[in-house]
Amino acid sequence: MSRGVRLFDAHCHLHDPRIAHVAPQLINTATQSGVLRFAVNGVCEGDWGLVKQMGEQYPSVIPCFGLHPWYVTERTPDWLKVMKEFFSSTPSAAVGEIGLDKGSHGKTIDFQLQVQCFRQQLELAKELDRPVSIHCIRAYGDLLEIMQSIGPFPAGAILHSYLGSAEMAAGLAKLGAYFSFSGYLMSMKQQKAKKMLKAVPTERILLESDAPDGLPTLNTSSLVWVPGDPSVPQEGGSTLPKETLNHPANIRTVLNYVASLIEMPEEEVAEIGYKNAMRVFSYPASKFVYKTDVLSYDNQICAMLICAPRVLCKP
């Protein structure tokens, strides 16, 4: 990959307590490898303040506020009012992470309650005219039905770590969906992943790390490790423990895999993902204004982050 490659991490959690204490180092390292922007997604009321703080501290961070389906039972009676207040005080923020989950953990949480909170937040995203980052596990039929009833979403609906079928891609794209790919893509059978990727419109492709989760499981010799992570395999070890943390710089490995499956040069896929993300996150009051060429401005941000990172308080 050439040094001029630009990458946009369309979905991550740099405020997560597992990595927040080393956030300046993570951002610095990722920036040096070409990752110039980060959409940092909150998942519950308790971390919205941390996400807001990170957005204020780092020029490259887009703060996002959302109630994840895993945390809907922990919400307070005034959660939606509180969320709206965060958006009012943070006009540069997007919506996320929200969603639906029928996976092993999601099955333990009342699905109708998930749907209720999901619909409320989708409607808020429409009202605010902001992009929304969506988590979906084994509930794509429900997702499509709900999005059809509320959408379309001209500001963009980012299907984070998309693992849905190729057949659903066209219908979701018509509603304004973007398809964001992380290390989880490597869990799919390669032929199925290839078919799905080729069904996604090029102008709707995004790349993400989902750090500290979503660790790529292929080409592990090129991975960047989170400083101080005790689960990192020792030299010569080949097995990655489940709890090994993902570094946002590993979006480069995701790029490599996606480019190989759609049979395009990495540089081209990186630029496609970067420009698509810039477009979707360039809403009114956003930190960023989408331009055909913003490389010089990105280089300024890169220098700022490397020279003067500020420490985020550990939750």
Identity of the residue numbered 61 = V
State the Cα–Cα distance between residues 216 and 254, nearest whole angstrom: 7
Compute CA distances 97 → 157, 188, 237, 253, whole Å. Answer: 11, 22, 34, 23
Burial of 260 (0-12, 13-18, 19+ CB in 10 A): middle
Burial of 77 (0-12, 13-18, 19+ CB in 10 A): exposed
Q: Which of 62, 64, 12 is nearest to 249 (CA)?
A: 12
Confirm or deny that 47 is annotated as ligand binding: no
Two tokens, residue 218: 């292929």
Confirm or deny that 97 is annotated as ligand binding: yes
Q: In 37-165, which ranges are continuous DSSP H helix?
A: 45-57, 79-89, 111-128, 140-150
State the Cα–Cα distance between residues 313 and 284, nearest whole angstrom: 29
Contacts of 99 (CB under 8 A, 6+ apart): 68, 69, 114, 118, 134, 135, 136, 137, 143
Confirm or deny that 15 is annotated as ligand binding: no
Confirm or deny that 21 is annotated as ligand binding: no
State the Cα–Cα distance between residues 25 and 155, nearest whole angstrom: 32
Two tokens, residue 141: 């039929």
Confirm or deny that 247 is annotated as ligand binding: no
Task: Please enumerate, as own/partner, the contacts of 191-196 that have beta carbons within 8 Å and a separation of 24 or more.
Answer: 192/166, 193/261, 194/261, 194/262, 195/166, 196/162, 196/164, 196/165, 196/166, 196/169
| Known binding-site residue numbers for a divalent metal cation | 11, 13, 97, 135, 160, 210
| Known binding-site residue numbers | 11, 13, 97, 135, 160, 210
